[in-house]
């Protein structure tokens, strides 16, 4: 795997700056019960989240399957923003609204009110410094959320999500192409659920317990028993891995292994072309057994996928 110094000067330029994120949208929860309501619906603690700070969280079915996931930001004591995949926004907003009942909270699509940009390299460091993932800085109504870096060999590219009211000037820096940002998302090992993988995974299958997306000490939420049982009873049999592929892959696509050629063993979560033209990188969630026997595209005799190190350690089953 190349380090940043191995890439062309043109790509070097694109690893510093900002990129729009048109594939993401924003749901706003507003009202005196907003934090408590979301706390009872999501996999992470929202009630004790300080104003101005962020967390990763999943919204699950009763069977623990992820119907959406969010980077959430508490912008005020009575307001929380939920950044999610745009292709899931309408149905997620509808489903969350079904559970409001008597809670004093209003759920709305706030995508048109906020700018979302991904920051990379020097631009990310200028916004969040050396902050750990999910730590957030705030200035003039804008929020910069530190994300997991994109790891390239021994090097790392800093990343952050910038959220600001429409009309506010962007942070200084060059324009990063959206496909380069998408590739950095893959290389960070952390992604949000999209429509092609709706209800395909419990949070641990996307390594969410290892990247701060699940709180096992908070109270109940939909699917909580399944999520907890997967962790504490050692029943988790799937993990997400980072791979290099010689061919393009699509989210939701089946992956196979020669050890069991009759049925798929893994599912593509996200794939993006390498900016240097050297194939593709992808996040794939598959059985832990098949990780040892090798993954193939299309069939057990298809193109082989090469495993790459994740940018973070996986927590062991408890």
pLDDT value, residue 49: 96
pLDDT value, residue 12: 64
pLDDT value, residue 1: 34
pLDDT value, residue 136: 97
pLDDT value, residue 259: 92
pLDDT value, residue 242: 97
Q: DSSP readout, 98-150?
A: HTTTTSS-EEEE-GGGEEEEEEETHHHHHHHTTPPTT-EEEETTEEEEEEEEE
Q: What is the CATH number of domain 208-308?
A: 2.40.30.160
pLDDT value, residue 223: 83
Q: How far apart are CA 255 and CA 20, in angstroms?
A: 31
Domain boundaries, the chain: 208-308
Residues of the chain under the 70 pLDDT cut? 1-14, 231-235, 317-318
CA angle (102 as vertex; 100, 103 as ends), nearest 5: 60
pTM (predicted TM-score): 0.93
Q: What is the dihedral of CA 90, 25, 55, 166, to 10 degrees?
A: -130
pLDDT value, residue 5: 44
Select from 269, 257, 252 the least CA-distant residue to 301.
Answer: 257
Token output for 147: 């994300």
pLDDT value, residue 232: 63
Q: How far apart are CA 137 and CA 133, in angstroms?
A: 12
């Amino acid at each position: 795997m190349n380090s940043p110094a191995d890439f062309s000067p043109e790509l070097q330029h694109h690893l510093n700056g900002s990129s729009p994120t048109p594939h993401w949208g924003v749901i706003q929860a507003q009202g005196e019960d907003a934090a408590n309501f979301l706390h009872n619906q999501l996999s992470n603690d929202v009630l004790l989240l300080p104003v101005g700070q962020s967390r990763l969280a999943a919204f699950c079915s009763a069977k623990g399957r992820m119907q959406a996931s969010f980077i959430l930001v508490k912008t005020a004591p009575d307001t929380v923003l939920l950044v999610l995949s745009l292709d899931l926004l309408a149905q997620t907003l509808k489903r969350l609204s079904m559970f409001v009942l008597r809670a004093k909270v209003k759920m709305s699509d706030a995508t048109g009110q906020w700018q979302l940009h991904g920051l990379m390299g020097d631009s990310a460091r200028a916004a969040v410094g050396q902050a750990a993932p999910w730590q957030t800085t705030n200035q003039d109504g804008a929020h910069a959320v530190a994300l997991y870096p994109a790891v390239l060999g021994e090097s790392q590219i800093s990343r952050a999500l910038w959220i600001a009211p429409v009309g506010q000037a962007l942070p200084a820096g060059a324009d990063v192409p959206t496909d380069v940002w998408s590739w950095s998302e893959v290389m960070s090992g952390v992604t949000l659920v999209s429509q092609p993988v709706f209800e395909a995974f419990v949070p641990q299958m996307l390594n969410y317990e290892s990247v701060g997306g699940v709180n096992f000490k908070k109270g109940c939420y939909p699917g909580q028993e399944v999520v907890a049982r997967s962790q504490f009873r050692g029943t988790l049999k799937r993990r997400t891995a980072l791979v290099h592929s010689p061919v393009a892959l699509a989210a939701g696509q089946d992956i196979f292994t020669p050890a069991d050629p009759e049925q798929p063993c893994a599912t593509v979560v996200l794939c993006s072309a390498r900016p240097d033209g050297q194939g593709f990188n992808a996040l794939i969630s598959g059985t832990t057994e098949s990780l040892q026997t090798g993954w193939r595209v299309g069939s057990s005799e298809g193109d082989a996928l090469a495993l790459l190190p994740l940018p973070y350690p996986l927590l062991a089953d408890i």
